[in-house]
C-alpha cells in the first residue's frame, strides 16, 4: 500500500513539474524528478511503475498520437540507471530507502575523497557514513551519465517517430531552440536530435538528480519522525 501511494504521488509530482516547466516556456523537461526520487526511496520496481504511470499521465489530452509514448523508455531508463548507482554506491544511497531490503554486494566504503573538516558534514538522510562530498560526487556522476543517456535515447526516439512513423515531433520542446543552429552545420538527423538535447539535459539532469535526492532525504526524515504504524497514547 505504501509503495502504491509512493508511486501515485510520484506520478502526480512528475506531471505537476512537467506542466510547470511548460508554463515557464519549456526551458527544461523536469519530467523524471519524482521517478528518480521514488527509485531512491522505494527501489527499482517502484521507479519503473512511476515512469510508466507518468508517461500515461503526460499523454492524456496532450500527445497528438501514440508514438509519443515511446518516450516512456527515457523514464524507465532513469529508474534503471538510478537503481544501478544505488547498487554500486550503497553508502551514498542506502540511507534513502524507506523500506528495508537485502543489501547489495558492492563497495564496503564510501567514495574515497580528500576533504576538509568543513566538507565532512553528512547529508540529513545519510546514516551509512557517506560524507557530503562523496554524495555530491556520486550525484554529479549520475547527472552526467543521465545527461548523455537521455540525450541519446530521446534523440533516437525522436528520429524514429519522425522517420519510421512519419509524424514530425512538435516544435514546442526545449531542444528546438538548439536545432536551428545545428541545421546550418549539415549534421545528420540523429546527430542533430542528440546534440540539440545535450545543453538542455546538462541542466535538467543536475536539477532532477539533486532535486530527487533532496526529496528522498526529506521523505526519509519524515518517515523517521513519523513512522507508519506508530501509536499515540
Instruction: Decide: 134 and 111 in contact? Cβ < 8 Å.
Output: yes
- The pLDDT assigned to 201 comes to 93
Domain that holds residue 165: 2-104+122-225
Instruction: Decide: 198 and 151 in contact? Cβ < 8 Å.
Output: yes
| Inside any domain, residue 112 | no
| Inside any domain, residue 114 | no
Q: How many percent of the chain have pLDDT more than 90?
A: 46
- The pLDDT assigned to 106 comes to 46
- The pLDDT assigned to 231 comes to 45
Mean pLDDT of 184-209: 89
Q: What is the CA 97 to chain-centroid distance, rounded?
A: 16
**CA–CA separation, 55 and 121 (whole Å):** 37
- The pLDDT assigned to 185 comes to 75
Mean pLDDT of 141-152: 97
- The pLDDT assigned to 59 comes to 80
| Inside any domain, residue 117 | no
- List the grid coordinates of 70: 515511446
- List the grid coordinates of 134: 562523496
Write out pLDDT tens, residues 162-178: 888 776 555 556 566 66
| Inside any domain, residue 110 | no
Instruction: Decide: 42 and 6 in contact? Cβ < 8 Å.
Output: yes
- The pLDDT assigned to 104 comes to 45
| CB contact set of 196 (below 8 Å; sequence gap of 6+) | 155, 175, 176, 178, 179, 182
Mean pLDDT of 179-202: 82
| Inside any domain, residue 47 | yes
Higher pLDDT: 26 or 106? It is 26
Mean pLDDT of 189-213: 92
Instruction: Decide: 119 and 133 in contact? Cβ < 8 Å.
Output: yes
Of 148, 19, 12, the closest CA to residue 74 belongs to: 148
Judge whether residue 109 has pLDDT over 80: no
What's the start-to-end Cα distance of the chain, in Å? 25
Of 201, 196, 159, 203, the closest CA to residue 178 belongs to: 196
- The pLDDT assigned to 77 comes to 97
Write out pLDDT tens, residues 42-61: 999 999 999 999 998 888 86
Give me Rg for the CA atoms of the chain: 19
Domain count along the chain: 1
Write out pLDDT tens, residues 29-47: 899 999 999 999 999 999 9
Judge whether residue 230 has pLDDT over 50: no
- Could you give phi then psi for residue 63, rounded to 5 degrees? -80, 130
Question: Which pLDDT band, with edges at 50, 70 and 90, does 21 fall under?
Answer: confident
Judge whether residue 120 has pLDDT over 50: no
> The domain that contains 195 carries what CATH number?
1.10.1760
Q: Is 227 exposed, middle or buried (0-12, 13-18, 19+ CB in 10 A)?
A: exposed
- Which DSSP string do the residues of 58-123 spell out, in sequence order? HHTTT-SSGGGGGGHHHHHHHHHHHHHHHHH-HHHHGGG-SS--PPPS--SS-------GGG-PPP
| Inside any domain, residue 230 | no
Instruction: Decide: 77 and 39 in contact? Cβ < 8 Å.
Output: no
Q: Out of 73-87, 91-105, 110-124, 174-188, which region has the weakest mean confidence (pLDDT)? A: 110-124
| Inside any domain, residue 25 | yes
| Inside any domain, residue 154 | yes
Amino acid at each position: 500500500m505504501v509503495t502504491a501511494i509512493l508511486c501515485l504521488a510520484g506520478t502526480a509530482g512528475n506531471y505537476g513539474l512537467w506542466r510547470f516547466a511548460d508554463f515557464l516556456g519549456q526551458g527544461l523537461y523536469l519530467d523524471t524528478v519524482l521517478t528518480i526520487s521514488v527509485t531512491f526511496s522505494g527501489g527499482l520496481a517502484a521507479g519503473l511503475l512511476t515512469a510508466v504511470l507518468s508517461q500515461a499521465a503526460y499523454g492524456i489530452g496532450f500527445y497528438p498520437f501514440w508514438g509519443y509514448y515511446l518516450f516512456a523508455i527515457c523514464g524507465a531508463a532513469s529508474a534503471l540507471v538510478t537503481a544501478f548507482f544505488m547498487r554500486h554506491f550503497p553508502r551514498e544511497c542506502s540511507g534513502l530507502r524507506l523500506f528495508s531490503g537485502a543489501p547489495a554486494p558492492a563497495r564496503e566504503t564510501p567514495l574515497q575523497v580528500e576533504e576538509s573538516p568543513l566538507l565532512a558534514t553528512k547529508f540529513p538522510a545519510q546514516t551509512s557514513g557517506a560524507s557530503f562530498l562523496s554524495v555530491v560526487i556520486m550525484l554529479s556522476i549520475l547527472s552526467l551519465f543521465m545527461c548523455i543517456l537521455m540525450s541519446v535515447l530521446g534523440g533516437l526516439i525522436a528520429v524514429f517517430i519522425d522517420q519510421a512513423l512519419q509524424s514530425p515531433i512538435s516544435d514546442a520542446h526545449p531542444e528546438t531552440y538548439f536545432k536551428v543552429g545545428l541545421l546550418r552545420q549539415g549534421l545528420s538527423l540523429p546527430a542533430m536530435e542528440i546534440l540539440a538535447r545535450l545543453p538542455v539535459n546538462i541542466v535538467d539532469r543536475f536539477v532532477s538528480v539533486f532535486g530527487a535526492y533532496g526529496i528522498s532525504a526529506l521523505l526519509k526524515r519524515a518517515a523517521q519522525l513519523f513512522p507508519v504504524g506508530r501509536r499515540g497514547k
